[in-house]
Amino acid sequence: MTTQPVTSSRLEPLGTVVPSSVPTHWYNLAADLPEPVPPHLHPGTREPLTPPDLAPLFPMALIEQEVSTERYVEIPQKVREIYALWRPSPLIRARALERELGTPARIYYKYEGVSPVGSHKPNTAVPQAYYNALEGITRLTTETGAGQWGASLSFAASLLGLTCEVWQVRASYDSKPYRRAQMEVYGSVCHSSPSELTEAGRAIRAEMPDTTGSLGMAISEAVEAAVKDPGAHYALGSVLNHVMLHQSVIGQEALAQIAEVEERVDVVFGCAGGGSNLAGLTFPFLGKNLREGTTTRLVACEPAACPSLTQGEYRYDFGDVAGLTPLLKMHTLGKDFVPPSIHAGGLRYHGMAPMVSHAVNLGLMDAIAIEQDDAFAAGLLFARTEGIIPAPESTHGVAGAIAHARAATTDEVIVIGLSGNGVLDLPAYASYV
């Protein structure tokens, strides 16, 4: 694996013109919540984490963002320049879908599939790579399910001169070779998880030699690899507060875009796995509800095969199988839960982001579970009307919105988070066409 060394010049702005519609600040829901999010706990002492506890894994800038209660955090100009490769992403009226459904509702979708890797994940991959490079880190480790996050961190690392090592859930590693190739094009290395490269991986394989893997297993391997290398840090594509913060560019743009054509938004649907796409789209709407008294309904659409929000317990749990991560207060199916090999690999996680879990627990957000067959039926209908093949993860949000629109009797306004395209996930559609 080859990469260019990080130099200060590579972290400086290029002078690229950034559209004014690209947000200048990230929005932090923590500033507007009626009750604070329960703190992360140290796995040994079970006391609230302190910044030094997280220093082996993350740069200080991200640690500060993780615990921040400031409403807005400034986006570095270098990050905004990279964002400008695809931001602002489009908000599109789904008129053909509306006609096909025969609904009086007006349907819009916020399309994150226009990013260089085809999903919303670079919104946090870029700042994470940037802050790590600023701190002198030269190598990042991470996990990935379907591969969108691994590809996104590989993309960001390549632009900022870092190396990147990815552990991909075995089910997706085997079924999606082109996503792995995408990571390799960007200069990263990708391993099937669980692997023989880490103590955690070897232990899991010894206990469950035929396992299809899970995000919790892959997280254990990536965390272990990072803590053993002083020049490395770990990067997480969902779940943590700073990831929710970075993704808020989605909802901030959507709020501004919808205000140009509609007086209100009645309901927002987003897919939910770890929570980053959902939070990025919905948290700015939720903040407006809390500050201004608007009543937009927010709906998390999770897979019925991995239903942490609708069937999990709201309690402290580890974010990984081996118990290497901090304890997080979240809706969880238990760290040892291994979901079936559903096609939406990016949603195969036993827990849900603490901030999303907290919002659901407070009654500020709803959650529904979508069967895989219904999700893919919705994805096909969307592709055959709107022309875009949604990522398998995104089809869950599409399915929730379609069911709602079919039952609509008024001209309510619906917004869907289309978190990515499914061009590299076509094998998942094969049994549905």
Beta strand 72-74 with 106-111 is: unpaired
Does pLDDT of 3 surpass 70? no
Q: Which residues face 315 on adjacent strands?
A: 330
More confident residue, 245 or 172: 245
pLDDT, residue 264, reads 97
- Cα(300)–Cα(304) distance, rounded to whole angstroms? 12
pLDDT class of 286 with cuts at 50, 70, 90:
very high
pLDDT, residue 1, reads 39
Rounded to the nearest integer, the mean pLDDT of the chain is 94
- Cα(25)–Cα(65) distance, rounded to whole angstroms? 12
Does pLDDT of 5 surpass 60? no
pLDDT, residue 345, reads 62
User: How far is residue 356 from each of residues 1, 22, 203, 263, 342, measured CA to CA in Å?
Assistant: 37, 24, 31, 26, 22
SS (H, E, C) 257-283: HHHCCCCCCCEEEEECCCCHHHHHHHH
CB neighbour list of residue 52: distance below 8 Å, 6 or more residues apart: none
Per-residue pLDDT tens over the stretch 132-163: 999 999 999 999 988 999 999 999 999 999 99
Please state the rounded mean pLDDT for residues 179-193.
96
pTM, entire model: 0.94
Rg (CA), the chain: 20
Please state the rounded mean pLDDT for residues 274-293.
97
Q: Which domains does the chain have, with CATH numbers?
A: 24-80+121-234 (3.40.50.1100), 87-118+248-432 (3.40.50.1100)
Lowest mean pLDDT among 55-59, 398-402, 425-429: 425-429
- Annotate 124-149 with b (16+ C-beta within 10 A) or e (fewer): bbbbbbbbbbbeebbbbbbbbbbbbb
